[in-house]
Structure 1
Amino acid sequence: MTERLGVGMVGYAFMGVAHSQAWRTAPHFFDLPLHPDMAAIAGRDHAAVTAAAARLGWSSVETDWKALVSRDDIDLVDICTPGDTHAEIAITALAAGKHVLCEKPLANSVAEAVAMAEAAEAARANGQLAMVGFTYRRVPAIQLARQLVADGRIGTVRHVRAQYLQDWIADANAPLSWRLDKQKAGSGALGDIGAHIVDLAQFVTGERVTGVSALLETFVHERPVAASSSGLHGTAGTETGPVTVDDAAVFLGRMSGGGLATFEATRFAWGRKNAIRLEINGSAGSLAFDFEDMNVLHFFDVAQPAAEAGFRRIVVTEPEHPYVGAWWPAGHGLGYEHGFTHQAVDLVTAIAEQRQPEPSFADGLVIQRVLDAVERSAASHSIWTPVDEES
């Protein structure tokens, strides 16, 4: 009999649905050392959370997240709520002796992220583990890219180009949601999607962003109030309200190894639905990835003869590739949801082995400091803003 791991989730909208699918699926495809038991889901609206529990596979419901955290049958708390609630829920859960998975970005401010990282470090001494959910790390092609860089296949990193392009609010009549409210979301495109490309750049290269020069812009300042704003999209009403976050972020960066970096995050790129693009140029080669073709990694090797040189298209679906052997035969690609399943697998395995899962809350704090530097740079019109190592 595999030992049980009781999972309780707070939130049931977009990320809650994705995380639920992962908890349901992981034990059916991977040989896990612990069995995730989807014990309870929490949400403020009893009727809505009860319907979500039935649809998503949760055994019971709570209308107060504190009640969920206090339950003896909950070993791990999965936080899928807006950023303004992350710190309180995570710190309370860790103090209650629970493991924690928290959606990205870790918090809405560096101060909150510091408190969360400190709480996670203290809890680790008592056996509780915490992880932040940067799921794109777990795309097999991204894992392969990281391995190629670590193996020296592209040499010294000289350039990083990272983009995250979406169009879901490019229409000026798209309704307001919590993601457009700074008090709840912390920031707009910067924290929502820019955090991902900062993490990917650092994860794949094994380096950190040490400084930035940034621009933030809000293109549409008033939007219709959504009749329902719990998910990614809502239904527009007749009332309007202010947009208090950035619609787009563009910034230059310097990597800790000396290389240059450019980052672009926007939700105003018509025709781009979820285009995460990462290109890394090194002294001995290049790598290129686009999430809208997520099972492919492009690799240029300088060692190839000039007459035959070119980007090689690697279809990352072989059993030898990370995670892929648990799924389908070679050539049968994976999708968006698989990253969340891989996240669940890695977290459950780390808990069983009492090993710190990655990315840790400390790693999430590193990303938070970069986001903070971007905001400070844009606000001050600074040519160069170092990323704080401490604050």
Structure 2
Amino acid sequence: MGAVKKVFIVGGGIGGLTVAHALQRIGVSTRVIEMGDKRDRIGTGITLLGNALRALAELGLVDACLEGGLGWDTVSVRDGAGTILSEQSSPRIWDADRPAALGLMRPRLGQILEDFATKSGAKIDFNTTITRIDQDDRGVTVQLSNGETDRADLLIAADGVYSKIRQSIFGDEFKPHYAGQGVWRYTVSRTEAMNGFVLYRLPTGRVVGALPLSKELCYLFFLESTDEKLRIPQDRVCDYLRNLLAPFTAPELVAAAKVIGEDKHISYRPFDVLMMPAPWHRGRVVLLGDAAHSLMPQMTSGGGMAIEDALVLAQELNRNDDLETALKTYCRRREERVGRVYDIAYAICREERKPEHGRDYSMGLLREGYAFLAAPV
């Protein structure tokens, strides 16, 4: 019968919408509470590696995602002029006949997940927040900002790294902290040279990365290491990015620098990270995705970990009649796996900030991480 019949999900992002769809597929009624407006989805792009595609395939979502983005297999390192220094194919861990990884625009992914969740029967309340949570042995009651009161068997907090639900239930013990890095992301037209995950590296160590999002688009990213969070006035952002790109002479990067400011989406995000120890639940409230673990980007796995969370939580709620057993098993299965990815990504970050080993050290950590992700969830 499963542990729950009705679930609240706080947060309509990748993790929240994926778990809504996953639960609806097994007959659990879901209601998603999202503080934002559905028209406000923004962002550059996201990369989903083979482990995430494997989970999406199990949930019946992968075909639509592949149609909405661009699959790729190639990982290459190039010099500042674009000359290939090394190139390899990523293993196709989930399907030998389909791409190893996928890039797509975040708004597009959000719309795909929303469409599947609603078609599966999920109810989504936009522009709505929870103002009060009351738990007892039989369920959880919430009061909503629209004045409504509702009750369910479980509340899933998928409301991000700055989760208000986490703070309300767990207090201030678990807070994200700045990891000493941030990333600039800049959406540009894709050229044939940007055929997969590409790193352009200067002798000074500065790196620009490129990831494809569609046949027409890709995004460039620049990691910046700073002791304090970087703050650039908005009227200086375009010049700042031009200066970052100026030392690179690869034709595709020169072309990208020339059109900075021409209505291209530019974002900067400091990395506030968190890895909560289990348990990720108290009573009938459980955390999912960035609310429990916000990762550095070096393993390109933040979204993928949230998708895996959604799959595993739905599995455990379906196979266990006892809610506490289901939640404990979910936390046990996820904490070790996510924790390993968190540690590897953080180790690469530390090496990038204050190099103590050769370049092969970070590449070795990446290979270790990818091999770990290839293992079954």
Range class of TM-score, shorter chain: 0.3 to 0.5
Normalised by the length of structure 2, the TM-score is 0.34
Point out which structure has higher relative CO (alpha carbons under 8 A, 6+ apart): 2
